[in-house]
Structure 1
Amino acid sequence: TMKAWLFLTDVAADEGPFTYVPGSHRLTKRRLAWERRTAINAACGVDRLSGRGSFRASPAELKRMGYADPVAFAVPGNTLVVGDTVGFHARGPSLRPAVRIEVWAYDRHNPFLPLAGFDLWSLLGLARWRTRIEWWLLDRLEQLGLRRNVWRPVGALTADAPPRIVCVRGSD
């Protein structure tokens, strides 16, 4: 799996830079044991984010797995960063509200498909419409009260528009 960011503006070290734990993309015995424990706990509902597949490791857990400290990537604008997201990665802390203008991409296929590269959306000729269909479906499910859609329209914006803060609460 991978994620990529083309940062169009500078990203300062104290404004939420991309961070990565070097070597954490390698699945060592310690890492696999941690993954197993975390998956079992996630299945038991211990941690909501882990239950959704977004495992989090504490600094102490990273040390026990034998990994180094995370490295923050403070970069100038017009920098492309590509990360192997099997490794531990996150947006670093920001000391104040900050704006990052970026182009974001990811590639992660469903690990439960029996054939590598098999994509039902492509076979049905719907791959180019997938995101619109999924967003439409999320809107319908929310209207029916079956699921809350976290995405909200904010109107037309340009990359250089003044920052706007949009708060989303459960009752909105």
Structure 2
Amino acid sequence: MIFSRSFVRHCIVATALGMATVGAFAQEFRIGFVNTDRILREASQAKAAQTKLEQEFSRREKDLQSQARDLKAASEKFERESPTMADGVRLSRQRQLVDQDRDLQRKQREFQEDLTLRKNEELQLVLERANRVIKQVAETEKYDLILQEAVYINPKHDITDKVLTGLSSAK
């Protein structure tokens, strides 16, 4: 197939114009990145949520630690005294220790589940606030796209500091 010179020139001009348009588009298209992990570590709301959770669960955690110490002490006492115990007493005490251990493990699982649930609730609130601030920054500074997860990001696109500042001023 043979093309005329004017057709080839038109194709070259169209390609050049297309490339110029893509270049102009790329310069106008603003991308930002927010490091969510950093928000959850450094935001004052996240720190306040962590303190709130510690206060809410500290008493229960101390009770579980105390129960674990008591069970350990009882087990050690049983180990020392079991050779001199009557068989019936030894079996009874052994069952009692097994039941206490099972109860303690159940309470520890429930504690962990409750803590995880509350932690997720509190972090969700922080993320919702952060997302509102991210939208404000995007609208104010005319970003076209804000990413929260990426394999690699050039630090010049990182707006996490702006979001942290916005969160601290939005109290």
Instruction: State the TM-score bracket (shorter-chain normalisation).
Output: under 0.3
Relative to total residues, which structure has the larger helix share, 1 or 2? 2
Q: Give the TM-score taking structure 2 as reference length.
A: 0.20
Q: Give the TM-score taking structure 1 as reference length.
A: 0.20
**Higher-Rg member (1/2):** 2
Relative to total residues, which structure has the larger strand share, 1 or 2? 1
